[in-house]
Amino acid sequence: MATVILPTGASYVGSVAAQLAGFAAAFAGLGYRVLTPDSRAPDYGRQIADAAAHGDVAFILCHSGIGFDQTPGPANLYRRLGVPVVAVYVDPALLYWDQIALDGVDHLVTLISADDVAWCRRQLPGRRFLMLPHAAEPVADPLPWADRDLDIVLAASAAGAPDELRAGWQGFGPAVAARLEAMREAQAAQPERHLADLVAETGRGLGLDLSAPLAAHPFVATLDRYLRAALRWQAVAALTDAPLTVIGDGWDRLAARGGRARFVGRMDLNAAQTLVGRARISLNPMTGYHGSHERVLHAMAAGTAALTTGRAFWGGDAVGCYAPGSDPGEAAAALLADDAACRALAEAGWAALPTRHGYVLRAQAILAAPAPR
């Protein structure tokens, strides 16, 4: 029996831990022996060496950098032990570029956006990349529709008010702040454009060469934080007088407005999922360049209607989408007002999940990927 190693580690509100558990169950169901060593343990390296000594390790799956060895070349732990690495990322590639571009290794890198995969292949020709969206499994018995006592749930912490984040750009100096503003305006006009490509193109118009990933990185990281925060803020601001429940911290400024919206603070993933399972709609604003997102799939898993920013990735009739730049409050209110359509969307999402976004499908995609040369 071949072995798959899934290192564990710190996980914000339990999100990555839940994804690792999903992969573990999937690989076990496919007949693999699964090991889940704690990457923070003092003897972690010895545990990997002991497993590798048996000669049956198919690969080690490092999710979001957990357990990843950033030592380049022959001294890399996994290269020394002859253990193939699958590096799974659920954020834009450039945010993990120091790992993805590591010298002297041939990891299989998975990303949640097809545009990100194409961009990485241009940057690192010959390296292995795979489009691997998020996954989830449907709950066995979703709460009956008639028993749901919450209308709209949004689970996300606020990374800051958009105006405050933009004001903070002045701390980089007026020239950098002006460049960031130009890039923000360009992204508003092309919300589904790959962000690193957009930054490089806008930079050329400003006389900057940002074609190298590390040159683009500070602009991409700053804009990505702002854009995610702005979409969430816009959605909550539009619904403060609606039957909205917000899970996450950082919303004090909007909570102070009063209105019908409830702000319940940060919760771990299990507690948040309980509230999502009591709702009719789960609203999850996304940037146009991200690809998939686990909160959309969590809603589908709970039998809750998933409503998110429009993106060709979702397609079909299992996810409700509104156009980037349109009013999320109007989209949520329209769906809530049509209870039959809302329920049909929820039921379609729950039914579609195993055949479109289950963990076994993602595990099979990894197993079918090209092996190291």
Per-residue pLDDT tens for 37-58?
999 999 999 999 999 998 899 9
**Given its phi and psi angles, is residue 65 left (phi above 0), alpha (psi -120 to 50 degrees) or beta?**
left
pLDDT one-digit tens code per residue, 177-212: 999 999 999 999 999 899 999 999 999 999 999 999
Query: Rounded to whole angstroms, how far apart are CA atoms 55 and 29?
Result: 21
The pLDDT, as a whole number, for residue 60 is 97
- Give the mean model confidence (pLDDT) for residues 329-354: 95
pLDDT-derived band at 11, boundaries 50, 70, 90: confident
CA distance 160 to 225: 9
In this prediction, residue 166 carries a pLDDT of 97
The string of DSSP codes covering 221-288 is HHHHHHHHHHHHHHHHHHTTTSSEEEEBS--HHHHTT-SS-EEEE---HHHHHHHHTTEEEEEE---T
pLDDT tens track for 139-159: 999 999 999 999 999 999 988
Average pLDDT over residues 210-230: 96
H helices of the chain, where? 15-29, 44-53, 77-81, 97-100, 114-123, 162-168, 174-189, 195-205, 213-238, 252-255, 269-276, 294-301, 328-337, 339-357, 359-368
Q: How confident is the model at residue 312 (pLDDT cuts 50, 70, 90)?
A: low
Residue 216, pLDDT score: 97
| 193 exposure class (CB count in 10 Å sphere: 0-12, 13-18, 19+) | middle
Mean pLDDT calculated for residue range 290-311: 91
Considering the chain, tell me which residue range(s) the CATH 3.40.50.2000 domain(s) occupy. Answer: 3-135+358-368, 145-171+215-356
| CATH topology (fold) of 145-171+215-356 | Rossmann fold (3.40.50)
Query: Taking 90 as the threshold, does the pLDDT of residue 262 lie above it?
Result: yes
pTM of the model: 0.95
Chain-wide mean pLDDT for the chain? 94
Give the mean pLDDT of 220-225: 96
Confidence at residue 328, expressed as pLDDT on a 0 to 100 scale: 87
Least confident window among 109-113, 258-262, 311-315, 361-365: 311-315
- State residue 372's pLDDT score: 67
Residue 244 is predicted with a pLDDT of: 97
The mean pLDDT value for 288-299 works out to: 91
pLDDT attached to residue 317: 77
Q: Is the pLDDT of residue 67 over 80?
A: yes
Q: What is the pLDDT of residues 232-250, one digit of tens each?
A: 999 999 999 999 999 999 9
CATH domain 3-135+358-368 topology: Rossmann fold (3.40.50)
Q: Which has more pLDDT, 372 or 177?
A: 177
Type of residue numbered 22 = G
Mean pLDDT of 3-27: 95
What percent of the chain is modeled with pLDDT above 90? 88
Residue 171 has pLDDT above 80, yes or no: yes
Query: What is the model's pLDDT at position 311?
Result: 66
303 neighbors 153 (Cβ within 8 angstroms): no
* pLDDT band with cut points at 50, 70 and 90 for residue 97: very high
- Report phi then psi at 304, rounded to 5: -110, 140
CA 299/CA 321 separation, integer angstroms: 13
Which residue matches tokens 């079909």? Answer: 316
What pLDDT score does 371 carry? 74
CB burial of residue 43 (10 Å; 0-12, 13-18, 19+): exposed
Q: CA–CA distance from 207 to each of 168, 204, 215, 293, 299 (Å)?
A: 23, 5, 13, 35, 44
Q: By CB neighbour count within 10 A (0-12 exposed, 13-18 middle, 19+ buried), where does 209 fall?
A: exposed
Q: Are 90 and 294 in contact, with CB atoms under 8 Å apart?
A: yes
Q: What is the pLDDT of residue 373?
A: 58
338, 293 Cβ separation under 8 angstroms: no
Please report, as a single letter, which amino acid is at residue 255: A
Phi/psi of residue 43, nearest 5 degrees: -100, 25
